[in-house]
Amino acid sequence: MRKICKTGEINTTGEVNSKSTQRNTGCANNESAKRNKGCVNSKSQKGKTSNLRLFLLIITIIFLTNNIVFVHAANPASINDYIWDFQKETKCECVSAVTVTGKGIEYYGDENALYQIGSMTKAFTGLAVLKIINEGFIDEDDSVSELLPGFSAFYDSKPVEITVGQLLSQTSGYTNKEKDYPAASEDMSLAEWVGSITGKELSSKPGEKYAYSNVNYNLLGAIIERVSGKSYEEYMYEEILIPLGLNDTYVGKPDDEGRIVSGKRAGYRRAFKYDIQVFEGRIPAGYFYSNTSDMARWMLIWLGEADIPEEYTILINTVKKRLKGTGDYYSGWELFEGGVIGHSGGTSNYSSRMVFSDDGKTGVCVLTDMNVAASTDGLCNGIFRLITEGNADRIPTDVWTVFDIVFSILSLIGIIMIVVEINLKKRSIILVLGAAALILLLTVCIVMPAVFGAGLGEIMFIWAPYSFSGGIIILAFVVIAAVISIFIKRKNENRKKTG
């Protein structure tokens, strides 16, 4: 069995076949005509033009040979081929996957390598809360303000109560818009973060509308701390991970960093190592680390195929009973068509997904080293279909992959525009190029924060591919180059007039 941990680059070369064409310049063939008509055929002019063409040709060749997008074929021959196609499309360097079927467990890639599992963490936090509920310490109908003194929330400028059950089912009224509900900063504990989030206006009345939000599960983490008298980390190890035999799952970043697969960030159709800090106040919603070996056991636990204490079996059955219809969400799990249960995870440098079904006792988990959540979801779902139905759909292209392609092209165009502006004599064309770049730059800077609900700086420097920030910077230089070029040409024209 081969390891699926390799570079996702496509070593494809492209050839550019160009034919030079001679154009009629309208210049007379005799020397006197050349002098009288002002036709310039100097070696320096030819050299300058040739250098410009060569420069643009080199940039184009480099771009074409490194930015080919692989189109996935449906119904791959094997899971290994499917994963390899995924890597070529996304540029993910490392992928670890595991399947659980009636035939046993099968691993693809390194089953011991540790990845950040993102929002798949929520199922662990949810299980811990259900344990506390089952032990009688709290109730689903208890309000958060009762359990976390000083906490408050408002809707339509009026105080409202949020219950534990609404946090578990993502119906509290919070959303995932970072601008409205900021996550914990580096120096914040969970309790301190709760103090920073209190008093916020909700986007909907509690209990009325589903809206996925990390706020809900970080609040549940704070409730675990408050009720148990232990830190979130201590409680999770002592009451969840160790009793369930999940010895390779970690609350936050593990000390043994040598086993961690480095997270990556895309940029210009390549993968770059990209590490981020894990903040204490964000862990309950999305910052566990684990490997496919432990994730296989986690699936077996939820499929009722692992030997665990009876009290945990009761909790697991409670969750399944609450997931009644397609789209239902409860305790870190969502119910999909056909009775499939699952959840995805995505941070700025990792993505993951798990799906399983009691029908056939089948499950799949995929862990990857880059934030390409939609493609990772498609890979996991496709593998599940391969082992249950024998066929798979095309893997969807992630939004950040699209951005990487678009802004890689935009960066190339921007560089060409800068070169043209520097060498062009007509100010009107330079003005058009600069104005077009400025309009595009302003559009991106205004639209992106509105679409993603985050600040432009956060999108540029944390989430989006490097090509996004590179493209914006290059657009800015196009504008600057246009202004400087117009200024210099105008100054030179004035000198000629006065000289």
What is the average pLDDT score of the chain? 87
Q: Tell me, what CATH number does 337's domain have?
A: 3.40.710.10
pLDDT attached to residue 499: 62
The upper half-sphere exposure of residue 30, i.e. CA atoms within 13 Å in the direction of its Cβ, equals 3
**Listed residues 376, 397, 418: the one ending a domain:** 397
More confident residue, 432 or 492: 432
**What are the C-alpha distances in Å from 314 to residues 26, 133, 245, 308, 382?**
90, 12, 17, 11, 31
Does 294 map to a domain? yes
- Using one digit for the tens of pLDDT, what is the confidence trace for 93-131? 999 999 999 999 999 999 999 999 999 999 999 999 999
pLDDT of 36 higher than 90: no
Question: Are both 332 and 232 inside the same structural domain?
Answer: yes
pLDDT attached to residue 19: 35
pLDDT attached to residue 76: 66
List Cβ<8 Å contacts ≥24 apart for 193-196. Answer: 193/218, 193/222, 193/281, 194/148, 194/150, 194/151, 194/219, 194/222, 195/150
Cross-strand bridge partners of residue 355: 342, 364
Question: Are both 87 and 101 inside the same structural domain?
Answer: yes
pLDDT attached to residue 73: 46
Question: Are both 349 and 473 inside the same structural domain?
Answer: no
Does 451 map to a domain? yes
Question: Are both 416 and 277 inside the same structural domain?
Answer: no
Residue range 341-345: mean pLDDT, rounded: 98
| Alpha carbon distance 457, 124 (integer Å) | 31
- Boundaries of domain holding 130: 79-397
> Which is it for strands 200-201 and 104-108: parallel, antiparallel or unpaired?
unpaired
pLDDT of 471 higher than 90: yes
- Using one digit for the tens of pLDDT, what is the confidence trace for 284-306? 999 999 999 999 999 999 999 99
The upper half-sphere exposure of residue 5, i.e. CA atoms within 13 Å in the direction of its Cβ, equals 19
The total domain count for the chain is 2
Where does the pLDDT of residue 493 fall: very low under 50, low under 70, confident under 90, or very high at 90 and above? Answer: confident
- Using one digit for the tens of pLDDT, what is the confidence trace for 145-190? 999 999 999 999 999 999 999 999 999 999 999 999 999 999 999 9
**Listed residues 363, 397, 431: the one ending a domain:** 397
* 3-state secondary structure at position 10: coil
Under 8 Å between Cβ of 442 and 381: no
Does 211 map to a domain? yes
Catalogue the E-assigned strands of 188-346. 200-201, 250-251, 264-267, 270-273, 288-290, 329-330, 333-335, 341-346
Cross-strand bridge partners of residue 333: 330
**Listed residues 397, 422, 444: the one ending a domain:** 397
